[in-house]
Amino acid sequence: MLESIHGPKDLAHLTYEELGALSSEIRTFLVEQVSKTGGHLGPNLGVVELTIALHRVFDSPKDVLVFDTGHQTYVHKILTGRAPSFAKLRQRGGLAGYPSRSESEHDVIENSHASTALSWADGIARAFKVQGIKDRTVVAIVGDGALTGGMSWEALNNIASAQNIRLVIVVNDNERSYSPTIGGVATYLSTLRATSGYEKFLDWGKGVLDKTPVVGHPIYKTLHGVKKGLEDIIAPGGMFEDLGLKYLGPIDGHNIEAMERSLTAAKSLAQPVIVHVITEKGRGHAPAVNDQAEKFHAVGIVDPETGTPLNKSVVSWTSVFSEELIKAGRERADIVAITAAMLGPTGLDAFQREFPDRTFDVGIAEQHAVTSAAGMAFAGLHPVFAVYSTFLNRAFDQLLLDVALHKSGVTFVLDRAGITGDDGPSHNGIWDLALSGIVPTLQVAAPRDGARLRETFREAIQIEGAPSLVRFPKGEVQADIPAFERRNGIDVLYRGESADVLLVSIGAMAAIAVDAASQAYREGVGVTVIDPRWVKPLPLELISMAERYKSVVVIEDGIRHGGIASTLSEMFRDANISVPIHSIGVPLAFIEHSKRGEILTDLGMTARDITRELVEWSSALKDDGLRAEKQLPEHENERRPGSR
């Protein structure tokens, strides 16, 4: 049946029994395909029936479907004709792991950062109204986790004030984002889930008590009175209706017929309405349903039957940080950990198990996390906020004005810094060095290996009266790279026999830098590789070191524009140093999904490419020197005694 689905219109003629069979086929297809490529399996297994119902009721792309956290769009991609492309999911030339406008007219939001869909939907719906378009509905599909983000509530506040826009908000409530959803909204939604059970209990109780002579009916009236007294607190939709929004639900998110009725009713209202749907994350796949951690939110290559990872187990950067944080927590009672709904992915789950009262999951609310950390620091704690590099972008104002301006002793630990690859342009952590570089008082470390991660993290949490930041990449941590010596905090990793090039390696680029220096030596170019470890502020020792070389090259896994090379160039200008400086890094562009190695090759950031550039730049300097020497006699002749 799945082979007959080439677009949403192919769903229209199917019976509910056939739709049930299609749902099973889609789940089997997802498990088979995602197990081979890796990807977001759990969220998509949970939204199969929901996505089918959406495409049966709404006419995409005329009606606009806007998905928050776009990793839940695999089923949407299947139903819009992209099933044949799943063999290369998240691979070069294949499907993106998130919506992509270049793939389909059915895709809208590409950035895949949570809590944005409601604002997108509000803007689109208002645009339709301004243009007098009355036959197009906007549908925002939002997870319960996304409602923990403040931007969602800013949007809801504005949506509620626009009663005459055609906007349907589908809240996909599966009780989990990355981690179990927490906070006041989650508690409220849990209450709504419990409400229907309470109603069933009352119905059962009425039947039993009505059969009880004399006292049965009065007892039921008492129970019902208690229930009526609770209605103002736990009535379904009460909170949303207080905002002025119509509410339908909760609805079984795996019952296509029930969802179609509710979605059709919502569409007919022609005003903002919330449809609350209960789904089960990972439904239909036992390893995902039974998993109590976050690994089935996103998986690597796994056994499709058991869910067991097939790739070899490796020591990750995240696990190294996690271990060091626990050690620090045992030594210092003031160390606390903060996460934005990502305990497991950032390595804080282990810290939470040992120090549950010192671990704070604020939900998908990075802005709140940063300012709350400033408050904790003011009150005498040392917060460690662990977050993906790309997600700290969302809290730049708070980093700048709530933390840095107040010189708050907060340590930021950025996981997945630099090029991450598979998840596409919105998930590469290539902006943090440039952004953090313009924040006064902030000190930034870029460790090259596991040993330096432990070292710089310990140094970071010792800093008083200023914030600190430690960044590291995604994946496996490579073997430690020892230094020949340390000069005023700068590690010398490789010594060239001649002073041709000083190669400044930033963070995890060290192995490539050392390899390139070794290859350049065989080409007759002397390269010395250094690692400053702390890149903000850059050590002043760099100036005196650079003066001894013919040129300086900086290699960094962040954008070149405003990056470390730019900062070093500014230092040279201020010190009147005229040594040429070259930058090897990421161009100012959005990078499409590919493997990290493929992207580095594209950008010319392999050891072979860097070697070639080092040799070419050195050769150009020698040629310039020879030309200058040839011109010197003629130049001197022009200034012979008595000449003008």
**Catalytic residue, candidates 82, 281, 448, 533:** 281
Phi, psi angle pair for 620, to nearest 5° = -65, -40
Rounded Cα distance between 45 and 172, Å, is 13
**Catalytic residue, candidates 394, 533, 536, 560:** 394
Rounded Cα distance between 46 and 172, Å, is 9
**Which runs of E-coded beta strand occur in 533-600?**
534-536, 551-559, 581-586
Tokens of 238: 């009460």
Omega before residue 61 within 30° of 0, cis: yes
User: Which amino acid is residue 69, in one-letter code?
Assistant: T
Tokens of 79: 């139903």
Rounded Cα distance between 236 and 242, Å, is 11
Q: Which of 319, 322, 315 is nearest to 478 (CA)?
A: 315
527-531 and 490-494 strand pairing: antiparallel
Q: Which of 170, 119, 117, 178 is nearest to 362 (CA)?
A: 178
Instruction: Provide the residue count of the chain.
Output: 644
Q: Which of 284, 285, 266, 268 is nearest to 276 (CA)?
A: 266
**Catalytic residue, candidates 49, 103, 366, 556:** 366
Angle between helices 117-130 and 150-159 (to 10 degrees): 20
Q: Centre a 10 Å sphere on the Cβ of residue 304 and count the other Cβ atoms it contains.
A: 18
549 HSE (CA, 13 A, CB side): 28
The answer to whether the beta carbons of residues 536 and 566 sit under 8 Å apart is no
Tokens of 332: 């210092």
Angle between helices 184-210 and 216-234 (to 10 degrees): 170
Tokens of 73: 């769009």
CA angle 21, 27, 32 (to 5 degrees): 130
In the residue annotation, 281 being an active-site residue is answered as yes
Determine the straight-line distance between the first and last CA of the chain, rounded to whole angstroms: 93
How would you classify residue 61: left for phi > 0, otherwise alpha for psi between -120 and 50, otherwise beta? alpha
Rounded Cα distance between 589 and 587, Å, is 6
The answer to whether the beta carbons of residues 159 and 118 sit under 8 Å apart is yes
Burial-class residue 319 by CB neighbours within 10 Å (0-12, 13-18, 19+): middle
The answer to whether the beta carbons of residues 170 and 139 sit under 8 Å apart is yes
DSSP letter, residue 402: I
CA separation, residue 229 to residues 99, 222, 234, 242, 581 (Å)? 45, 11, 10, 18, 74
The answer to whether the beta carbons of residues 100 and 107 sit under 8 Å apart is yes
CA angle 452, 454, 457 (to 5 degrees): 100
CA separation, residue 623 to residues 358, 388, 577, 620 (Å)? 61, 45, 21, 5
The catalytic residues are: 281, 366, 394
